[in-house]
Structures are given as structure tokens and as C-alpha cells.
Structure 1
Amino acid sequence: MALETRVLQGDEWDVWYDNLELAFGGVPEPSEEREFSRALTEAERSLGVWDGATCVGSAGAFTFRLSVPGGALVPAAGVTMVGVAPTHRRRGVLTSLMRRQLDDIRAGGEPLAVLTASDPAIYGRFGYGTATYALSVDIDTTRVRLSVPPGTDDVRLRLVDPQQALADCERVYAALVPTRPGMPARRPGWERQALLDPPEVRGGASPLKCVLAERADGEVVGYARYRVKADRDMAGSDGKVEVADVDALDPAAYAALWRYLFGIDLTWTVRARRRPVDDPVLHLVSDVRRSGARTRDALHLRVVDVAAALEARTYGAPVDVVLEVEDAFCPWNEGRWRLVADAKGAASCTRSAEPADLGLSVRELGSAYLGGITLTSLAAAGLVRELRAGSLAEASRAFAGDVAPWLPHGF
């Protein structure tokens, strides 16, 4: 029987999602997380591959606006829920889903597609490049101290119920989105993700807690959400603070929140995941070696429309360069594009018949797009070719950002 690919119907969601769980090992999600996924699924953007009555493949997309260098919020498809049943691997199911999905994204006028990869090796062949990395820290608070900036003592901290504090936290988050590329502007419903707290996934830690940072007039300027995992043995307590979020609008509030997390009684380690790689906490700690800092890939980005994507962001230096873009999977992007940006960063990108200055694939263009990975470093790996002397340094300076791009949460 031939396989059929079609848009998800409402009454098919459970079967479709069961296939996704099977593709990821068959461990059922906690009901709280499953219902969250059901509520946010955009059925019209969700595809299923069916072998008769059996769903054997899935791929979905969320409608996002993603911050890019310069602060603009650019339409982006948040690719998600991609899975193929183990019985139907290596039969072209994933390729057919990626083909249909990228065609749909282009037709919908979204210049970018983004995803987080369970297996990073898979998505490069479809044009996705690693665009952001995430920092993890395990800080030994028995040996590491914080050096805080002036004004930290003036910040008031208040422990509150996470649900009651949600609106204040979302206001802080929304204010930060334009300041750092890679952050999605949260649409209604997404704020609930931060409060998902099923006991099954806590690993013995406490329920979620929230502390707010306030100015003297009561304005909320930061927040931290965390759990405490108690651990005791004959030698005493060895508890851990498991940080979910720390966001703040100024350095003093940021430092005050970290100082609070460091000082929680009966804990000796502060553990945080999915932080920006240039997180200021690395400059507050007295000993970065005992902070267990390490990185891994986070957001993978695909340029779906070269001209629209490159014109949507600003640039850190003037640039006039012709890019020879390779893109076999989305051939409408193939060819030469002239990118011109002025000293203010405004850009134009048009088809060009002029000789190419740089040659690269759409995958490398995606990696460099948010400004966190330089074209120079990609060229050192043999992935970008300089065809006109001096063009690599010129383009690399223009694409590079002042802050590291960051994806604060999954999707």
C-alpha cells in the first residue's frame, strides 16, 4: 500500500502523537505536558504520513516571530514534532515531510525555519545550520563566590507563587526579546510552558518556585524560577538548586537573583541549563573553572528565502558582497545574491550577475544569520570560500553580533 501524506485532522491527534512518542523511544509523556502539546498544535501546519490506518511519520510547525540582529521580529516556522516510526525508516518518509513542509513555509511567506534537533546530524542535509549554542553550568557554591555590581543591595527580592507572578515575568521576557537574537516572541498559550511542573519529571526536586526582583517603587525588573533538590547523607546536606530561568532588565537585578540562588540554605550546587553562551554570570563568579561551564548546540536555522531573510536583519558594519549560495533542496535560493548594507545597518539583497565574492551553502548562511557564528570561523573549516580578497573579513564583520544569540526554551 502506498504511503499517504496529509494535513492532520482534529480527530487524528492522539494517533499522530502516539507515533511521535514511539519514534522517541515509546515513553509516554506526563499528561500535563501532553495536553500542553495538544493545545498548541497547529493542525493546519501539521503533517502525517499514513500507511493505511497507521501513522508512520509526523512533522509540525509553530507560527513564531524570531528576534534577529537589529531587534526586528521576523516570521519563522518553528519546526517540531518530527518523527518516523522505526518500521518505516530509510524509506524516504522524513525527506518527503521536509520537502512538503519547506514548500508550505515558503508559500506562507516565512523567510526562516528553525528547530531544535534530537540528532543534529539529520538536519544539515535539509539546509539547517547550527545558529545558537546553549551554556550549562554546575557551580560549586562552597568554593565559588559572586562579585556583584553597585546597586545590587538596593534590589528587593520577593518569593511568590509562579502562577501569580506569570504576568510580571512575561513583561520582563517581552522587553528582552528585541535585545538578543534567537528569542521567540511568545504567542498566547506559550507562557504556560514555563509553568509545566509534572512530578514525574522533577527527579525528586521540589515543585517550581519563583522569586521576583523589584525596584524600590515595586516595578518588577527580573525573576528566577527554580527547584530545590534535597540530598542528605551521613556527612550532612548536599542539596542542589536547579535553575529553570533567570531574566532581568539591569545588571543589579540580575546579580541579586544569582546571589539569592547561591545563598539558598542546605544547597551546595547551582545547576542551570540552556543559558546564553555569553551569560554575565560567567563574569560574576570568582572561579569559572569550578562552575562546570560547557556548551552544546541549540537552535538550528534554515534560510527559506535568501533575499527576505537577509533584508530583515541589520548589520554591524557596512558591506557590499556577492554571495554564491548553494541550496540543492530549495533550488529557488541557488545562485548569486548581492547583499548591500549601509553604516546604519539597513540592507538590500537582490539577484546578481556579478562575479561572486564568497561561496557558501545555505547551511552556513543559516549558521551565520543570527550573528553568533562568524563566517571567518566557517571559512577556517573549509565551509565558506573567499573568491575576492578581503570579502571574507568584510562580510564576517557585518554579520557578527554584539551579543550571542540565544534560544531560551524549547518548542
Structure 2
Amino acid sequence: MRVLQADEWDVWYDHLELAFGGVPDSPEERELYKSLTDVDRSLGVWDGDACVGSAGAFTFRLSVPGGALVPAAGVTMVGVSPVHRRRGVLTSLMRRQLDDIRAGGEPLAVLTASDPAIYGRFGYGPASYAMAVEVDTTRVRLSVPPGTDAIRLRLVDPQRSLADCERVYAALVPTRPGMPARQPGWERQSLLDPPAMRGGASPLKCVVAEREDGEVVGYARYRVKPDWDLTGSEGRVEVSDLDALDPAACAALWRYLFSIDLTWTVRAPRRPVDDPLLHLVSDIRRSRPRTRDSLHVRLVDLAAALEARTYGAPADVVLAVTDAFCPWNEGRWRLVVDAKGVARCTRTEEPADLELSVRELGSAYLGGITLTSLAAAGLVRELRPGALTETSRAFAGDVAPWLPHGF
């Protein structure tokens, strides 16, 4: 195992494509991720001249409850050659990577899992979910809030409108846990539009929502997939991004997407589980909401991570934490949260009130999964009566965490 050299990137990425099924990325996608890769944070395992294992990390700042942006390693590009599995390659990569993340002072590591069964043993817990909707717009109507008709919509070039859209995105980051602040270069990901990624749909389109003074307060990026049968058009709108700063702009954008000529379905594969759309539609069943795990969180520096976020209620609890893979986190920790939601976390010898693993702390960290629900599954053990309710209320958030894009 060694840190990647810049001139090895293509061989390293060829290995990664093989590990994920062997279908090459488009040249545009490959070039983007080459430009975003931090080779100093990328690891390769080599068998002679062949790369047989890989892992990388992006340098992110992740929003957490309370609006703070916390340094986080975005774990990515993890793969092992099909003929080198079951030899400890992945475990060695995870060991080295978490040691490096700790040495670099990042309290969190996060990832999206191609196989969610893999990463729990390394201390990652699913902390946010994404919702997919597929709305039958022939049978579902929208009820829009006051002010929607005052919003002006304009079709714009996705590239030329990027600065306005990025301002909207940046304003939303502190309001919802789990969103990465956009680092330089990442704005290009949302515009990636090679024909191979369209699946027969149109090139990427963008519509912006403006107030009367011309301020952009929302946007949607989408493609249209035309289709026809003997009865006529069967087109579909495929939504890749939709962000808005107020309810009127949000409703105006969805109303527009529902009304595009010759289309009868709107599909959005990555929305927050508490998306306002769920309350605008007339028929939730015919909107077909489905959820899946999204962001997995790993506390690398437990005390620093717990002190970085804000809490929703006061608490004074001793947590007995198990963490076999990162033993520096293991032991008893006293978490004291004041009336303003500010926390102090220190080691203690006091008797424990709750017993759990670092994985459960990762799942509850962004406020979307309650410790109470984890306890109901037998994953958190209450040792002092009342401690579970007290701690769960403190960790829980008002807004569902959400990861708007992959990495």
C-alpha cells in the first residue's frame, strides 16, 4: 500500500472501474474526477504493476445541526480487485485511511455506500436517507402557497446561470444537516452532461425562479425523456436538482415541472425525506415515494465531533461507547449540553447512562435518526431510567439531513 502518485492516476482509476463492474466512465466524467482527486489523500494497493485496491478522500466541510460547517473526509473511490478479495485489502485501506484522517484533525468521515453491508464494521452508520419520487402528473395536482404566482420563471443556460444557482445552494447549506459546502471544482459536477449519462433524454436544462426585483431564489435542473406509444406521448421529466429559498419559489418550480408539454411523469431520484413536495401533492400514493440510505457518518474524533454540533434540548449524560476499529474513541464520555444547545464532551469514570457503539452515534449525529428508534432495535442500551429520552431529544433535529449529490 502506498500514497498515489499523480502519474499513476489512470491505472488507479482503471482498477476502480473494474471493481465497479468494468463499464468505463465517459471521458467528461473521468476528467472531472481526475481534476477533483487529491492524490495526497488517495491510497493504492499494488501487486507488482497491477493496482488491486484503492481508497480516496475528498476534503469537505459538512453542515451539522445548528448550521456549523465541520471538516469531514469524504471517503470515496474504494474498491478491491475481484481476484484479491477476502485477503484483508479493504480492512488495511480503512485502517490506514482513518489513521490519516485522525492525524489530519478531521473529526468526521462520511461516505455513500455502494454496498451498505460493508462499512458498519468500520464504524460507519447510516445517518441520512434520500427519497425518490415518480409522480403521475395526469392524476396528481399541486396545491401551491400564496405568493407562488408572483414568482417569475426563466429558462436559462445551465452554465451561464451557475453563479446564481450556487448562491442559492450556499444559502441553504447551513439550514439542513448533511449538505457539503461546495468546494472549488465541485460546481462542475452538477453540470456534467455527456450523452452517455442521459439515457436517451434531452441535454440538461435549467429554470430559475425570480422575485419581482430579479433576485434568483430557486432553480431546477432537469432533462426531458420523450416517448410515444399508440395512445400518444408518454414523456417523462427527470429532475436532477431543485433548490429554493422560500415556499413560493419551491412550489413554482414544481408546478412548472409538472406542466411541461408532452410529459406525464416527473421523476426525482434524490430528494430529502421531508421534501415540501409531499405536502403539495394531492395524492401521495401516486407520487410513489421510496427511500434508501444515503450518507453514512463515522465519528473519528468523538469528543470534537459531538462538540461541533448544536443540540435541541439540554442533557447531561454519560455514554459508554464501544469502538473496536478506532480504540481511541472507546470508553465513557460525559456529554453536557447547556440551554443554548452548546455541548462539552469529556472522558469520565462516572457510571454510564447509555451504552452504544460509535456506529449508532454516527447514525444519530445529524439528527435524522433517533436514539430511541435505535434502542428499540436493541442497538442502544439504557442504564439509567430517563437517560434515553433525554439524550434522544437532544440529538434529534427539526429538519431531515440530506446529501444532495454523490461523491
Give the alignment's TM-score, normalised by structure 2.
1.00
Question: Does residue 332 of structure 1 match 2:335?
Answer: no
1:356 is matched with 352
Q: In the alignment, which of 120, 125, 131 is matched to residue 129 of structure 1?
A: 125
1:288 is matched with 284
Distance 2:22 2:263 in 1: 35
Give the SS at the match of 2:117: helix
2:93 is matched with 97
Question: Does residue 36 of structure 1 match 2:32?
Answer: yes
CA deviation map 1:378-409 (0-9, x unaligned):
00000000000000000000000000000000
CA deviation map 1:222-271 (0-9, x unaligned):
00000000001111001000000110000000000000000000000000
Structure 2, unmatched stretches of 5+, are none
Give the SS at the match of 2:60: strand
Q: In the alignment, which of 143, 148, 151 is matched to residue 147 of structure 1?
A: 143
Give the SS at the match of 1:120: coil
1:12 is matched with 8
Distance 1:187 1:347 in 2: 28
Give the SS at the match of 2:334: strand
**CA RMSD, aligned part only?**
0.4
Distance 2:242 2:55 in 1: 31
Structure 1, unmatched stretches of 5+, are none
| Residue identity matched to 1:300 | H
1:118 is matched with 114
Distance 1:362 1:198 in 2: 40
Q: In the alignment, which of 233, 243, 246 is matched to residue 247 of structure 1?
A: 243
Give the SS at the match of 1:410: coil
Instruction: Map 1:248-327 onto structure 2 (within 5 A).
Output: 248-327=244-323
How far apart are residue 20 of structure 1 and its match?
0.3
1:204 is matched with 200
Instruction: Map 1:43-122 onto structure 2 (within 5 A).
Output: 43-122=39-118
Distance 1:92 1:207 in 2: 43
Give the SS at the match of 1:34: helix
CA deviation map 1:169-199 (0-9, x unaligned):
0000000000000000011100000000010
How far apart are residue 131 of structure 1 and its match?
0.3
| Residue identity matched to 2:285 | R
Give the alignment's TM-score, normalised by structure 1.
0.99
Distance 1:377 1:402 in 2: 16
Distance 1:265 1:343 in 2: 53
CA deviation map 1:207-226 (0-9, x unaligned):
00000000000000000000
Distance 2:263 2:6 in 1: 47
Distance 1:152 1:352 in 2: 54
Distance 2:71 2:196 in 1: 35
Q: In the alignment, which of 374, 391, 395 is matched to residue 395 of structure 1?
A: 391
2:22 is matched with 26
1:230 is matched with 226
Instruction: Map 1:123-202 onto structure 2 (within 5 A).
Output: 123-202=119-198
Give the SS at the match of 2:51: strand
Give the SS at the match of 2:319: strand
Give the SS at the match of 1:95: helix
Distance 1:274 1:293 in 2: 11
| Residue identity matched to 1:353 | E
1:374 is matched with 370
Distance 1:165 1:307 in 2: 41
Distance 1:124 1:397 in 2: 24
Give the SS at the match of 1:121: coil
Distance 2:280 2:339 in 1: 34
How far apart are residue 373 of structure 1 and its match?
0.1
| Residue identity matched to 1:325 | V
Distance 1:72 1:325 in 2: 24
How far apart are residue 73 of structure 1 and its match?
0.1
CA deviation map 1:116-137 (0-9, x unaligned):
0000000000000000000000
| Residue identity matched to 2:370 | T
Give the SS at the match of 1:37: helix
| Residue identity matched to 1:144 | V
Distance 1:136 1:142 in 2: 19
